[in-house]
Chain A
């Protein structure tokens, strides 16, 4: 019954590797997001997609490439991982954008550790 799911939950990898994180929502929402929460717990938006189209790219390095095969999925591929990429990555979804009732629902997060 999980509304927003992410895999994997934990990811430990070496610098320079390429990795992907998958996200799926079964809420029927049309907008999905990726957030990064760093060690200082600051939650920062990276991307938002509406109806599979990229709407927001918050000056994220182009090593990060999101892909939305359909409205229910938003995956994140990261090339050439760096130490500074270590963080928790949250996927979220909402119906529409930042309107009054358009609350976001978050996935459980993927804890990425780059060694």
Chain B
């Protein structure tokens, strides 16, 4: 089983749609969880950390399910500018493991 898995997509959605991504991880001892956004030929940029109780930042909601070992990202009211690759990251100690990313294309 791969350590961190994501559906590669692409997810093609119209503007205004709600889209959800999931990410599963295999190491139950993982300590921290993040969603990053990566635009083409750019570096990953932190979108949000994922807390145990779930957290929201504007149109973005992240959830963690430790029992089932997955994290999720919900994007409401998609904008054209949300088009990017979304990477989940799982941390333990001084190591972070990234998923391969889910590509999102928001169309007019």
Contact = CB atoms under 8 A, between A and B. Distances in A.
Binding partners A and B: yes
Interface of A: 31, 33, 40-45, 48, 50, 55-56, 58, 90, 97-109
Contacts, number: 67
Interface string B48-88: 01010000000000000000000000000000000001010
A97 B91 contact: yes
Interface of B: 30-32, 34, 42-46, 49, 51, 85, 87, 89, 91-98, 100-101
A44 B85 CA distance: 16
Contacts of A98: 30-32, 91-96
Contacts of A103: 34, 46, 49
Given A41-B101, A43-B87, A98-B32, A104 B94 contact: no
Contact of A106 (B30, B44, B85, B91): B44
Nearest to B90: A98
A32 B77 CA distance: 36
Majority secondary structure of chain A interface residues (helix, strand, loop or mixed): loop
Contacts of B32: 98-100, 102
Tell which of B45, B96, B98 has the most Cβ of chain A within 10 Å.
B96
Contact of A90 (B44, B49, B92, B100): B44
Contact of A100 (B45, B51, B100, B101): B51
Given A41-B85, A41-B101, A106 B95 contact: no
A25 to B, nearest CB: 13
B101 A45 contact: no
Given A100-B49, A102-B32, A45 B43 contact: no
A42 B51 contact: no
Given A42-B100, A100-B31, A100-B51, A108 B95 contact: no
Nearest to A40: B100
6 contacts: A31-B94, A41-B100, A43-B87, A43-B98, A103-B46, A103-B49
